Amino acid sequence: MTAVFYELKNSMIGIAGLGGLGSNVAVALVRTGAGRLVLADFDIVEEPNLNRQQYFLDQVGHHKVDACVANLNRIRPDSDLVGHKVRLTPDNIPAIFAGCHIVAECFDRSDQKQMLVETVLSRMPDTAIVSVSGLAGYGRSNDIVTRRIHRRHVLVGDGVSGIGPGIPLTASRVGVAAHHQANAILELLLDGDLRSLWARRNNGAGI
The confidence score (pLDDT) of residue 134 equals: 67
Task: Examine residue 123 and state whether it is found in any structural domain, yes or no.
Answer: yes
Q: What is the pLDDT along the chain (207 residues), one digit of tens a residue?
A: 566 667 788 899 999 999 999 999 999 999 999 999 999 999 999 999 999 999 999 999 999 999 999 999 999 999 999 999 999 999 999 999 999 999 999 998 889 999 999 999 999 999 999 999 866 656 667 788 899 999 999 999 876 655 545 556 667 788 999 999 999 999 999 876 787 777 766 664 445
Instruction: Note whether 64 and 55 are within 8 A (CB).
Output: yes
Task: Examine residue 137 and state whether it is found in any structural domain, yes or no.
Answer: yes
Give the Cβ contact number of residue 49 at 10 Å: 20
Task: Examine residue 186 and state whether it is found in any structural domain, yes or no.
Answer: yes
Sequence-separated (6 or more) residues with CB below 8 Å from residue 112: 88
Planar angle of CA 69, 10, 193, nearest 5 degrees: 120
Q: Which residue segment(s) compose the domain that 32 sits in? A: 2-198
- What is the per-residue burial (b if ≥16 Cβ within 10 Å, else e) of 3-25? eeeebbebbbbbbbbbbbbbbbb
Task: Examine residue 207 and state whether it is found in any structural domain, yes or no.
Answer: no
Domain count, the chain: 1
Strand runs labelled E in 59-203: 80-84, 102-105, 128-132, 145-150, 153-157
The confidence score (pLDDT) of residue 1 equals: 52
Residue 151's CATH number: 3.40.50.720
The confidence score (pLDDT) of residue 200 equals: 66
The confidence score (pLDDT) of residue 9 equals: 84
Report the DSSP beta bridge partners of residue 39: 15, 83
Separation of alpha carbons 115 and 119, rounded Å:
6
pTM, full prediction: 0.90
